[in-house]
Amino acid sequence: MHSVSKQRGVFIIELSMVLLVLSLIIVFSMDVVVKQTVKGKLDRLSYSLVSLLRERSQLFEGNETMTFDEAAKSFSLIQRSLNSTMGNFDISRLGMVIEQQRFDANKNPITAVVNQHIFTLGAYSCEPEEALRQKVALSPVTQFDNKLALYQVTLCYRTDNWYGDLAGETFERVRSISLSFGR
């Protein structure tokens, strides 16, 4: 027969294991919810920004060449938007890469100056999974027999690593990539 004290000991051990697993599930769920919230914000912002960039030729009298000043203004716009929508926004956790791929009259990518059309902004490293230059086949040919410029905006934000700290891993980068072609 088991004594009452042995049964209590077994119950406490089982309860502690169940509570440990339950707390891990709760921390994981909270971490996923925070990352999904940030991802949704970055998705909306990257899509909006790439849409603005593709309309540049209409807004700036046909000049498709993007400048660093325009990229810096875009980064400032993203920063202000995230600052107003995220309660604990930290600028040092934000990174952005804007890529523009233009084409010459022979439909070849313009690559005269290395990284001429790639703008990296922000303190957080934010490289896209695949560079825009690897996607040149996506650019359509217009009725005037020229290829449209491609634009890609990559936004990254470093979130807290709650679950990763418990699991001994790093799960902190949230990234959003939007691609569009000009007019």
What is the structure's pLDDT at 79? 93
Residue 112, pLDDT above cutoff 60: no
Confidence of residue 60 (pLDDT cuts 50, 70, 90): low
AA letter at 109: P
- Give whichever of 3-17, 77-91, 135-149 has the largest mean pLDDT: 77-91
CA–CA gap between residue 83 and residue 91 (Å, rounded): 8
- Give whichever of 34-48, 100-114, 154-168 has the largest mean pLDDT: 34-48
Q: What's the distance, Cα to Cα, between the start and end of the chain in Å?
A: 83
Residue 115, pLDDT above cutoff 60: no
Range 61-86 average pLDDT: 85
CA–CA gap between residue 172 and residue 164 (Å, rounded): 8
Say if CB 35 and CB 174 are below 8 A apart: yes
Confidence of residue 11 (pLDDT cuts 50, 70, 90): confident
CA–CA gap between residue 101 and residue 136 (Å, rounded): 8
Instruction: For 149-172, write each residue's pLDDT tens digit.
Output: 888 899 999 888 766 666 666 677
Confidence of residue 52 (pLDDT cuts 50, 70, 90): confident
Structural element, H or E, at residue 173: strand 173-181
Share of the chain above pLDDT 90, in %: 20
CA atoms within 13 A on the CB side of 147: 20
Edge-to-edge strand ranges of the sheet holding 118-122? 118-122, 94-101, 150-158, 173-181
Say if CB 94 and CB 82 are below 8 A apart: yes
Residues with Cβ within 8 Å of 148's Cβ and at least 6 positions away in sequence, in order, are: 103, 139, 140, 142, 181, 182, 183
Q: Which residues pair with 99 in a beta bridge?
A: 118, 152
Alpha helices per DSSP H over 55-171: 56-59, 68-85, 162-167
Parse the chain into domains and list their residue ranges. 6-181
Residue 89, pLDDT above cutoff 60: yes
